C-alpha cells in the first residue's frame, strides 16, 4: 500500500509532463521540451524537479524512503533480494537517462544541499538500528542517496562512479539479504542483540557474512574498492560542504558495517 501510494503520487505529475510534451511538441524527447522557447525558466525548473522526484522515489532518497524499510521487513528473503538488486536500480537508471534535464535545473543547488545533509543523517540512523533486515534496508537508502548527488555534479567521472556504485550495490545488497534470511532460519529473530555465538554454530557462514560486509564496505581486495576510489575522486570537484558530508557518510558507513 505504501509503495503504491508513493508511486501514484509522484508518477501522475510525470505522466502529465509526458502528455503535455507529446501534445504540444509532438515528441517524447525531454531535451526538446527543455530548450523550447515556449516554456519559461520556472516551467523548465518544475519539469526538472518532477523528473527528479519521480525517479528519486524509486531509488529512494531520504524523505521518500518510508515505504522501503516496511517493504523489506514484510517481504520474504527472495522479495528483498529482487527489490534491492533490481527495482532500486531502476530509479538510478532513470536518473542517468534524464540527467541532462535534472542537472540544468535552477533548483539543483538546493536539492544538492538537501541530499548532502540527509546523506549523513540516514547513515547515522543505520548505526542505531537493532533489526538486521531494517539495517540493510536503511543502508540501501544511504548508498542510493549518493547517486543523485553525483548526477547533480554533472561530471563525466561521476557517471562512471554511479554505474560502479549501482552495480556493486546490486551484488552486495541481495547477498546480505540472503544471509539475513539464513540467519533468521537459524535464530528465528532478526534482532542483532539476540544473534550471538554464530562463529560456534556455523564458522563458515560467519566467515561468509564478514566477507559480505567487507564487500559492502568496499574494502580491498574486493572489486567494489575500485568503485569507491572513483567515488572519492568524483567528490573532489564538488563544493567543500558537500565533500565534508561525503567524508562523514563514509565514516559512519564504516561504523555500522564493522558493528
CA atoms within 13 A on the CB side of 243: 9
- Closest of 155, 184, 136 to residue 242, by C-alpha: 155
**CA angle in degrees (0–180, nearest 5) for 17-20-21:** 85
pLDDT of residue 66: 82
pLDDT of residue 109: 67
Rounded to whole angstroms, how far apart are CA atoms 63 and 182?
Answer: 31
Rounded to whole angstroms, how far apart are CA atoms 109 and 105?
Answer: 8
For 200, phi then psi, to 5°, come to -75, -35
Tally of structural domains, the chain: 1
Mean pLDDT across the stretch 236-259? 81
What is the pTM for the complete model shown? 0.85
Q: Is the pLDDT of residue 35 over 80?
A: no
Domain residue limits at 79: 2-258
- Closest of 111, 126, 138, 93 to residue 53, by C-alpha: 111
Rounded to whole angstroms, how far apart are CA atoms 259 and 247?
Answer: 19
Rounded to whole angstroms, how far apart are CA atoms 152 and 155?
Answer: 8
Q: Is the pLDDT of residue 17 over 70?
A: yes
Amino acid at each position: 500500500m505504501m509503495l503504491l501510494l508513493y508511486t501514484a503520487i509522484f508518477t501522475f505529475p510525470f505522466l502529465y509532463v509526458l502528455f503535455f510534451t507529446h501534445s504540444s511538441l509532438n515528441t517524447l524527447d525531454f531535451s526538446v521540451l527543455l530548450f523550447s522557447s515556449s516554456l519559461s525558466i520556472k516551467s523548465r525548473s518544475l519539469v526538472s524537479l518532477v523528473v527528479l522526484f519521480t525517479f528519486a522515489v524509486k531509488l529512494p532518497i531520504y524523505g521518500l524512503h518510508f515505504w522501503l524499510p516496511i517493504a523489506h521487513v514484510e517481504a520474504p528473503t527472495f522479495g528483498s533480494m529482487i527489490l534491492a538488486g533490481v527495482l532500486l536500480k531502476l530509479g538510478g537508471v532513470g536518473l542517468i537517462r534524464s540527467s541532462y534535464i535534472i542537472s540544468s535545473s535552477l533548483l539543483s543547488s538546493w536539492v544538492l544541499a538537501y541530499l548532502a545533509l540527509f546523506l549523513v543523517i540516514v547513515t547515522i540512523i543505520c548505526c542505531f538500528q537493532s533489526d538486521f533486515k531494517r539495517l540493510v534496508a536503511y543502508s540501501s537508502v544511504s548508498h542510493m542517496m549518493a547517486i543523485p548527488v553525483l548526477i547533480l555534479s554533472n561530471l563525466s567521472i561521476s557517471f562512471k562512479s554511479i554505474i560502479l556504485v549501482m552495480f556493486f550495490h546490486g551484488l552486495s545488497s541481495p547477498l546480505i539479504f540472503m544471509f539475513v534470511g539464513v540467519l533468521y532460519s537459524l535464530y528465528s529473530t532478526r534482532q542483532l542483540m539476540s544473534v550471538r555465538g554464530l562463529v560456534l554454530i556455523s564458522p563458515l557462514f560467519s566467515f561468509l557474512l564478514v566477507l559480505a560486509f567487507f564487500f559492502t564496505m568496499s574494502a580491498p581486495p574486493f572489486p567494489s574498492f575500485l568503485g569507491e576510489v572513483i567515488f572519492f575522486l568524483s567528490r573532489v570537484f564538488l563544493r567543500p560542504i558537500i565533500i565534508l558530508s561525503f567524508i562523514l557518510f563514509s565514516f559512519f558507513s564504516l561504523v555500522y558495517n564493522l558493528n
